[in-house]
């Protein structure tokens, strides 16, 4: 048979469905203490609770005989691969993390990582407040944007009252910095 039709490993088909690592420039993985603690808690949950449960199910299912049609075995092995992939991802992220405490920021008059910034469009409407956080903890619906997002990059080193222009997905925007706080 031609090698083009032979599956290299049993995890090849899963790689297409795996979540992609968020891009972090030059290996810098800044995050807040809160973000670090969340990743650490997820890793602990996977290693101490979820993975041992699945290993137990797979072990039990393997002892039942024919594995080719054993759903508990097949899906258990698949779930184990997913968990192991997530554990490797979390371990890499935690190892490369640089934890930054926003409350220890020295230049309180400028926007840097960890700042909570209130902005509004130049025309005065659409006021927003968000915190600039790490890539892994960004969630726009909760008011947290990544430090590598276009708006965060544009706001870096801005001061209260500054007008900032940046290219958003909706087009060129001009915003005014209303307030900067570090919490």
- Compute how many other C-beta atoms are within 10 angstroms of the C-beta atom of residue 59: 11
The answer to whether the beta carbons of residues 151 and 164 sit under 8 Å apart is no
The answer to whether the beta carbons of residues 2 and 69 sit under 8 Å apart is no
In this predicted structure, what is the pLDDT of residue 170?
Answer: 83
pTM passes above 0.85: no
Side by side, which strands form the sheet with 171-182? 144-146, 128-133, 115-121, 171-182, 163-168
Task: Sketch the domain layout of the chain as residue ranges.
Answer: 27-99, 102-182
Q: One digit per residue, pLDDT tens: the chain, 183 residues?
A: 444 444 444 444 444 444 555 555 556 789 999 999 999 999 999 999 999 999 999 998 888 877 777 888 899 999 999 999 999 999 999 999 999 998 888 888 999 999 999 999 887 778 999 999 999 999 989 999 999 999 999 999 999 999 999 998 888 989 999 999 998
CATH number of 102-182, picked from 3.10.50.30, 3.30.230.70, 3.60.21.10, 3.40.50.720: 3.10.50.30
In this predicted structure, what is the pLDDT of residue 180?
Answer: 95
In this predicted structure, what is the pLDDT of residue 23?
Answer: 58
CA 73-74-78 angle, to 5 degrees, is 110
CATH 1.10.287.180 fits 27-99, yes or no: yes
In this predicted structure, what is the pLDDT of residue 26?
Answer: 59
In this predicted structure, what is the pLDDT of residue 174?
Answer: 92
The answer to whether the beta carbons of residues 36 and 94 sit under 8 Å apart is yes
């Amino acid at each position: 048979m031609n090698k083009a039709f032979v599956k290299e490993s049993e995890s090849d088909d899963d790689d297409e469905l795996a979540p992609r690592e968020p891009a972090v420039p030059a290996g810098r993985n800044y995050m807040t203490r809160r973000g670090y603690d969340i990743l650490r808690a997820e890793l602990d949950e996977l290693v101490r609770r979820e993975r041992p449960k699945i290993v137990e199910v797979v072990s039990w299912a393997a002892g039942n005989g024919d594995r080719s049609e054993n759903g508990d075995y097949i899906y258990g092995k698949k779930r184990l691969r997913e968990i192991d992939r997530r554990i490797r991802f979390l371990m890499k992220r935690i190892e490369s993390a640089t934890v930054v405490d926003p409350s220890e920021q020295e230049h309180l008059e400028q926007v840097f990582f960890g700042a909570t910034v209130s902005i509004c469009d130049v025309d005065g409407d659409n006021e927003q407040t968000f915190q600039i956080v790490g890539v892994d903890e960004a969630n726009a619906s909760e008011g947290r944007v990544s430090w590598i997002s276009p708006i965060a990059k544009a706001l870096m080193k801005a001061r209260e009252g500054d007008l900032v222009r940046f290219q958003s997905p909706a087009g060129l925007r001009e915003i005014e910095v209303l307030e900067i706080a570090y919490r």
